[in-house]
Amino acid sequence: MIQFINIDIYMKNIHEKEKKLIDVLKKLQDLNLINSEKIKELQNISTQKNQLEIEKQELEKRSNSLAEENNRLKQKLENLKEINEENKNKEEQISEKIDELNQETDSLMEEIDKWQM
């Protein structure tokens, strides 16, 4: 009889252990599912990060290119302003020369008129 009690206790222990083992296995499977989902999320985040870094580099290149183009256009504008200023100065000099010639012509015309009288 004691033997049967011992066997019965032993069987209960085995059933309890088996049940606990099954529970632990289920929890491990759940953890694996959760971990695999987390891994997928991390991979997605990593992919997005890499894509954003590539886009950032492209935007930086474009920004640098636009800055260089801006500087080149500013320099060209300054050169055009200088040329325009030089042309204005030349126009003023020509106008002054024309005025001088007109005055001289007037003076000569007066002299001619005096001689004709």
- Greatest alpha-carbon span in the chain: 170
The residues spanned by each domain of the chain are 1-117
Q: Residue 4's pLDDT is what?
A: 47
Mapped onto helix, strand or coil, the DSSP state of residue 13 is helix
Residue 10 has pLDDT above 60, yes or no: no
State the pLDDT at residue 38.
Answer: 73
Mean pLDDT of the chain: 84
Q: Which residues contact 28 (CB under 8 A, 6 or more apart)?
A: none
Kindly tell me if the per-residue pLDDT of 95 is higher than 70: yes
Whole-model pTM: value is: 0.52
How is 58-97 classified by DSSP, letter by letter? HHHHHHHHHHHHHHHHHHHHHHHHHHHHHHHHHHHHHHHH
Range of lowest pLDDT (2-11, 32-41, 49-58): 2-11
Q: Which of 5-9, 60-64, 73-77, 84-88 has the lowest mean pLDDT?
A: 5-9
Taking CA 110 as the corner, what is the angle to CA 106 and CA 114, rounded to the nearest 5 degrees?
A: 170
pLDDT given at position 63? 96
